[in-house]
Amino acid sequence: MSVTASPDVRNTPRVGFVSLGCPKALVDSERILTQLRVEGYAIVGGYREADLVVVNTCGFIEAAQQESLDAIGEALAENGKVIVTGCLGKRADLIRAHHPQVLAITGPQDYAAVMRAVHAQLAPPARHPFVDLLPASGIKLTPRHYAYLKISEGCNHKCSFCIIPRLRGPLVSRPLGEVLREAEALVRDGVKELLVVAQDTSAYGVDLHYAASAWRGHEYRTHMTDLCRALGELGVWVRLHYVYPYPHVSEVIPLMAAGRVLPYLDIPLQHANPRILKAMRRPAASEKALQRIREWRTLCPDLTVRSTFIVGFPGETEREFEELLDFIRQAELDRVGCFTYSPVDGADANALAEWVPAEVAEERRRLFMETQAKISAQRLKRFIGRELQVLVDSVADGEAVARSFADAPEIDGVVRIADAARLQLGQFVRVRVTGSAQHDLDAIPAA
């Protein structure tokens, strides 16, 4: 299980928790854990000590569904009393077919239903004043110095390879004031880096008609640009993830150039060939993407662009794949993830003809990553000799592992700092870059 135990486990109903899936699911787990602790349940780290286990599942692709089903099976075998929540909860039939013994199944973000299921099995303990001694920002599963800030749920797009809108519903933005209050509480509790996440960050507020509200004496719209302006007031790193490539994304680049938010954009492009993009039901204009990336870098030369792509999409020809390789060579993206097409049960793309054989798709992925590794290595060389501010993630044996503005936790590279015995976890420090590899940098503390 992935969660550390809370200290007061004696004479208290004990819940085990397994958290799977993406950062959005992680935020759901944090909310449920916070509620469990607020109500006085103890969170335990082993199946055997738990009175029951909650499994927060992922249902994004087939491999994730299998991992979730396996995790439910393991919790049932080790503990026996299991409540399932999260994305796969929308597929109750599938879960029941594999594991008829689960006690209850709820869908994503349905915290109240999870709590009702827990109450039905395990009554909450009598209130105790110390139970309320929780950080104002709730329980986090990330280290103390960074936190995911979820600004909306669901998605209005209909990408043909994705079933997230079906699992999580249409876009529902959190009110701006609520998001900013959570961000303030996180910063008060010691968070140095806020990672803004959503299924589609750039659509933030469209469902609320970009309603304006006041915060710290200024008026802000419920809109990605204004959210960035407001978060930029908090004096911590702000990193944007899952930004769908709308034209208005260009509005945040000046904020990046001005140091209000990190010059880092995680913008999933998925492909470059117009026909494939159309079949994916994504914006089909790679020349525009190329042109925009160049304009952004003119305005903000340090901008790090991260993207993800799918190769082996049904019908993708060798020529279309070559076009994708040309695109990444020209765009010189900094960080890239690449997946072979994976048929998700219920995705419209599965009905497309001419599936690419698995070994061809895998060979394309290998070629893609080989091409990107050279680009990434070349891009990182520009940092050699420069001073950078980094955030320390760990210190051991005199070496620290940190991240610069160009590195999101867990998915990007790191900065390895020699002579770092004096540095501390969660500390901002200035370093001088001494070397670079394909994804990581080497550095020493700046004099």
Would you tell me which residues interact with ligand SF4 (CB under 6 A)? 155, 157, 159, 162, 164-165, 199-200, 244
Q: How far is CA 121 from CA 9, 115, 116, 406, 410, in A?
A: 18, 10, 9, 46, 36
Which residue, 244 or 327, has its beta carbon nearer to ligand SF4? 244
Q: What are phi and psi of 328, to 5 degrees?
A: -70, -30
Which is closer to ligand SF4, CB of 269 or CB of 414? 269
By beta-carbon proximity to ligand SF4, the closer residue of 1 and 164 is: 164
Using the minimum distance from each CB to ligand SF4, give the nearer residue, 3 or 162: 162
Nearest to 393 by CA among 371, 369, 413: 413
The minimum distance between CB 149 and ligand SF4, in angstroms, equals 18
Choose between 84 and 167: whose C-beta lies nearer to ligand SF4. 167
- If the CB atoms of residues 246 and 428 are measured against ligand SF4, the closer one turns out to be 246
How far apart are CB 386 and ligand SF4 at their closest, in Å? 34
Least separation in angstroms between residue 199's CB and ligand SF4 is: 4
Residue 135 neighbours by CB distance under 10 Å: 15
Q: How many residues does the chain have?
A: 447
Smallest gap from Cβ 20 to ligand SF4, in A, equals 17
Instruction: In whole angstroms, give the CA distance from residue 375 to residue 147.
Output: 30
Residue among 157 and 439 whose Cβ is closer to ligand SF4? 157
Distances (CA, A) of 189 to 215, 261, 351: 20, 20, 49
User: What does the block give as tokens for 397?
Assistant: 């044996």
Tell me if 307 sits within 8 A of 355, measured CB to CB: no
| Cα-Cα-Cα-Cα dihedral sign, residues 136, 140, 144, 146 | negative
Bridge partner residues of 54 (DSSP): 17, 83
Closer to ligand SF4 by Cβ: residue 349 or 415: 349
Residue among 125 and 274 whose Cβ is closer to ligand SF4: 274
Residue 316 Cβ, how far from ligand SF4 at the closest point, in Å?
Answer: 17
Is the Cβ of residue 350 or residue 371 nearer to ligand SF4 in the bound state? 350
Q: Six-digit token pair at 176?
A: 């701006």
Closest approach of Cβ 60 to ligand SF4, in Å?
Answer: 9
For residues 67-102, one letter each, b for 16 or more C-beta atoms within 10 angstroms of the residue's C-beta and e for the rest, the string is bbbebbebbbeebebbbbbbbbbbbeebbeeebeeb
CB of 283 to ligand SF4, least distance (A): 10
> How far is 342 from 313, CA to CA, in rounded Å?
8
Q: What is 269-291 written as a DSSP string?
A: -B---HHHHHHHTS---HHHHHH
Looking at residue 127, the DSSP 8-state letter turns out to be P
| Residue 199 tokens, joined | 């299924």
Do 56 and 29 contact (CB within 8 A), yes or no? Answer: yes
Question: Residue 211: how many CB atoms within 10 A of its CB?
Answer: 14
| Minimum CB distance to ligand SF4, residue 244 (Å) | 6
Q: Rounded to the nearest whole angstrom, what is the least distance from the CB of residue 21 to ligand SF4 in the complex?
A: 13
Q: How far is the CB of 79 from ligand SF4 (least distance, A)?
A: 32
- Report the run of H or E that residue 225 belongs to, with start and end: helix 224-231
Distance CA 200, CA 150 (A): 11
